[in-house]
Each structure stands twice: as structure tokens, then as C-alpha cells.
Amino acid sequence: MQDLAVDIKITQTEQSRLPQIDFNDIPFGKHYSDHMFVADYKDGKWQDLRIVPYSDFSLSPTTSALHYGQAIFEGLKAFRNEKNPKEVLVFRPEDNALRLNESAKRMCMPELPTEIFMQGLHKLLDLDRKWVPDTQGSSLYIRPFMFATDAFLGMRPSNTYTFAIVTGPAGVYYSKPVNVKVEKEYSRTCAGGTGFAKVAGNYAASLLPAKLAAEQGYDQLLWTDSSEHKYIEESGTMNVMFQINDTIVTAPTVPVEDTILRSITRLSVLEILEGMGLKVEERRVSVAEIIEAAKNGTLKDAFGTGTAVTIAPIASIGNDGEKLELPPVESRTVSAKVKETLQGIQRGLIEDTKGWVYRI
């Protein structure tokens, strides 16, 4: 690793919580590793870079993030190298650092130097490397995030911020193919809004419609455009792709479409698909087109892509009260091959020829 000029103070925990974890039962988002990386922004610069035992923050009741929503985050994963278990592999972390700063700019927050992101991440994972699981289908989920910290109720951007990275072992996000519902009443975001950024408020806006869909038996939503609700954008936890005959179609992201998150997993999948020699179209995908393809048998596959889910097959699509079953997962050769390739690279089983893997 390049020697970066970043001074990070490390305070280790007195007693690890690692013995309390059953790595054969690690639900997503429930357990957290021993340490976290923290940095504070004040007086116009990032300072007090530190790795400390995982603990609560102390916040004023008037902390501006609680009132005005200046909060952004990222998500990425680390894996145990299956060919060299002593090595930890992180999938495309530099891209997460860049996307964090795109979100920061949109939310009027200070950008975080990439060297701080990368060095903080490296030292944190090196210290907590025993927390990276080696059980089938598991990984170490990594959550970088930033929030405003001014104790001030005036309506303006905060002058101070905290950036942190926490990690935790996790199993698979979806244990089975997902049922999705086309959402035509509520909107996740709109043109000119914050849809392309990983902003906390985007997810808050999705909770009620997702809850209503869950009550109808659906695992997730297929969000549509806010103006007409005619075009599919993304799902709540993932971007989505459809295989119509031998062509993969997926909605475009920024700079073409600013309402859809630019998923790093999605970008990786597109490269893998193109390497397989498949035709890929990034364009607006209408609900009518997908429903017609599902009915006439030309919709061969549909799946989500994202850090948490990796590749998630879609079992059925609900639209206007009608539920359309998709082909059996066992018959879907394209998404199965993509998943095998992606996870093989992430876990060191397939040679990384693209420079996607960061080694610790």
C-alpha cells in the first residue's frame, strides 16, 4: 500500500466482543466490529483522525443533521481471500470514496480527501481483520457516513461535520428470490433532486411505501419516475436489470438520469455482461415494456444489483393488482454467470484483471 501522509491515532478496545459472535448466524446489520474510524471537520479542515472502540456518539438535541437532514453514507464490503485467508479483499473502495464526495457536494457538505477515506479504512480493517467472516455467503459490511454536527437551529449548512466508518459481519441480504411491486403512487425522488446521491433522506422517503408493499407480500418496490410513473428507475435496495430475449436493459444513471443511484455493483455488472459478449442497453425502461415481455415470454431474467444484495433474482413483479411470475431461477444462465464471476473476483477465486480489489 502507498504510504499516505495521514496521521491517525489508534486506541484499541480493552476487551473484544468477537467471542460473542456466531459466524454461522450473522443477520445483516445486527452486529458491529470492535473499532470505528472517526474524523471531525471544523475550522475549514478535517482533523482529529482516530480509530477508537465502537461506541455511541454524544450529540446536542439541536444537532443540525437531526433537523435539516445533512447526512450521507456509503456501503461496501470486505471479503476473506479464499485462496489466501490471511488477506482481506475490499471491493472497489476508491469508487465509494468518490461517490461519497458527489453526495457531499449535492448536500452542501465538505468533501473528504480520498487519502483520509482510504487510510482510515485500511487501518480500521487491518485492526479488525479477525471480524471478516470466512463462512459461506458472508462478508464484512462497511458503512462510511457523514453528518452535520452544528448545535444550531438556524436554516443554513452546518460549519462542522463528523465522518465515521463502522463495520460488521453479515450474511446474505436476501435468502431467496424477491417479489417486487411497481410503485406508481409514491416517489423516491424527482428530477433535480437528490436521487443520484446516497442521502439518508432518500431512504426515509421510501419507508412508508415499502411498508405498505410488504403488507401485500412484496419484498421491495420498483420505483418509477415521479412525473408520469411510466418508467422503471431502481428498487429500494438495488438497481435493476432485465433480460428481454438476449438483450440486457437497465435504466441510465448520472449524468443522463439524476434520479437513480450510480451503483458501483451495477457498473461492475455492466462490464461483466459486456465481457460475456451480451448486448446491453442503458435507456429508459417503461413499465409497459417489462409487463408485456413478462406476459409474452420474452422476459428471460430480472435481477437487482447492489452492495448489500450483490445479485438478487426477482421472482415476480406486481403491477396494478396483477402479479406476474418470472421464469424459474434455475433457468437463468445470465444472472447466474454474472453472480459467479462477481463473487469470484470479490473472494479471490477469479483473477482480478480490472483492478477492482483492494488488498489488506
CATH number of the domain bearing residue 240: 3.20.10.10
The residue that leads in pLDDT, 258 or 345, is 345
Does residue 351 lie within any of the structural domains? Answer: no
Specify the long-range contacts of residues 209-214, CB closer than 8 Å, at least 24 apart. 209/183, 209/185, 210/236, 213/181, 213/183, 213/318
Note whether 277 and 163 are same-domain residues.
Answer: no
Note whether 167 and 195 are same-domain residues.
Answer: no
Does residue 353 lie within any of the structural domains? Answer: no
Does residue 317 lie within any of the structural domains? Answer: yes
* Per-residue confidence band for 257, with pLDDT thresholds at 50, 70 and 90: confident
Inform me whether the pLDDT recorded for 2 exceeds 50. no
Note whether 158 and 31 are same-domain residues.
Answer: yes
Note whether 240 and 125 are same-domain residues.
Answer: no
Q: Which set of grid coordinates corresponds to residue 353?
A: 484483471
pTM recorded for the entire structure: 0.95
Note whether 298 and 335 are same-domain residues.
Answer: yes
Amino acid at 58: S
| Number of domains into which the chain is organized | 2
Which range marks the domain in which residue 20 is found?
A: 9-172
**Contact predicate 17/35, CB 8 Å:** no
Note whether 101 and 233 are same-domain residues.
Answer: no
* Per-residue confidence band for 179, with pLDDT thresholds at 50, 70 and 90: very high
CA distance 205 to 202: 5
If you average pLDDT over every residue of the chain, what do you get?
Answer: 95
- Residues 19-32 have a mean pLDDT of 91
- Residues 104-108 have a mean pLDDT of 98
* Per-residue confidence band for 254, with pLDDT thresholds at 50, 70 and 90: confident
**pLDDT for 236:** 87
Inform me whether the pLDDT recorded for 324 exceeds 70. yes
Does residue 285 lie within any of the structural domains? Answer: yes
CA distance 306 to 300: 20
Note whether 118 and 240 are same-domain residues.
Answer: no
> Which segment of 35-39, 133-137, 159-163, 231-235 scores lowest on mean pLDDT?
133-137
> Looking at 115, 140, 172, which one is the last position of a domain?
172
Note whether 144 and 185 are same-domain residues.
Answer: no
Does residue 352 lie within any of the structural domains? Answer: no
CA distance 322 to 318: 6
Strand partners, 76: 142
Does residue 162 lie within any of the structural domains? Answer: yes
Burial of 186 (0-12, 13-18, 19+ CB in 10 A): middle
**Contact predicate 317/303, CB 8 Å:** no
**Percentage of the chain surpassing pLDDT 70?**
98
* Per-residue confidence band for 175, with pLDDT thresholds at 50, 70 and 90: confident
Inform me whether the pLDDT recorded for 172 exceeds 90. no
CA distance 186 to 182: 10
**pLDDT for 21:** 92
How is residue 44 annotated by DSSP? T
- Residues 154-162 have a mean pLDDT of 97
The helix/strand/coil state of 20 is helix
Note whether 328 and 313 are same-domain residues.
Answer: yes
Q: 331: which residues sit within 8 A by CB, 6+ positions away?
A: none
> Looking at 157, 172, 187, which one is the last position of a domain?
172
Q: 22: which residues sit within 8 A by CB, 6+ positions away?
A: none
Q: Where are the alpha helices (DSSP H) in the chain?
A: 64-68, 93-106, 114-127, 200-215, 264-275, 287-296, 333-346
Note whether 200 and 162 are same-domain residues.
Answer: no
Q: 122: which residues sit within 8 A by CB, 6+ positions away?
A: 1, 360
* Per-residue confidence band for 1, with pLDDT thresholds at 50, 70 and 90: very low
Note whether 34 and 72 are same-domain residues.
Answer: yes
Note whether 101 and 65 are same-domain residues.
Answer: yes
HSE, CB side, 13 Å, CA atoms: give it for residue 258: 9
> Looking at 172, 204, 235, which one is the last position of a domain?
172
Does residue 337 lie within any of the structural domains? Answer: yes
- Residues 73-96 have a mean pLDDT of 96
- The domain that contains 57 carries what CATH number? 3.30.470.10
> Which segment of 110-119, 188-197, 292-301 scores lowest on mean pLDDT?
188-197
CA distance 55 to 179: 37
Does residue 293 lie within any of the structural domains? Answer: yes
